[in-house]
Amino acid sequence: MSMNILAANVAAISGAALLALQPGEPDGFAHSAADAARYADSACHIELAATPDGLLITAWGEGEAGSNYRMVVTQRTGGGGFDIVQEGDVPLSGSEDTLLSDILLDTDADFSARLSTWNASGDPVCNWNERV
């Protein structure tokens, strides 16, 4: 495929890889104490990590029965762009962050990512935006 997508995996990272993506780890992006506080105070968030294969976009959220999520990644290239949409049920986790989705993108493209979560009643719980 020539769409600049190297891979798209939903909840397929190993536990060891998850540990490497926690705030403060050397992943190619500076994580400050403010970033860690933003993550802790939010019911969902997106983390970015530079890897040898590209840019890893990881969506995290807190799960309760019946809640769901939607992540939209818009990738722009020289002649246009396209959206990648991943959505589904949030795994039940209580108040702990749970991996919702991950996408690996070519680092030569401009992109934005938006994550939204809703509770079982359909009320918005969290919105998070990132742009690189």
pLDDT per residue as tens, the chain (132 positions): 333 333 333 233 322 233 233 333 334 444 455 555 555 567 888 998 888 988 899 999 887 767 899 999 998 877 788 899 999 998 877 667 888 999 998 777 788 999 999 988 999 988 999 887
3-state secondary structure of 101: strand
Count CB neighbours of 59 within 10 A.
29
- CATH code where residue 114 lies: 2.60.40.2420
Question: Dmax over Cα atoms in the chain, in whole Å?
Answer: 43
Enclosing domain of residue 73: 5-131
pLDDT the model gives residue 39: 54
Structure pTM?
Answer: 0.66
Instruction: Give whole-number Cα distances, 27 to 30, 43, 55, 56, 113, in Å.
Output: 8, 23, 10, 10, 18
The count of structural domains within the chain is 1
pLDDT the model gives residue 118: 92
Order of strands across the sheet that contains 124-131: 80-89, 68-77, 110-118, 124-131
pLDDT the model gives residue 21: 34
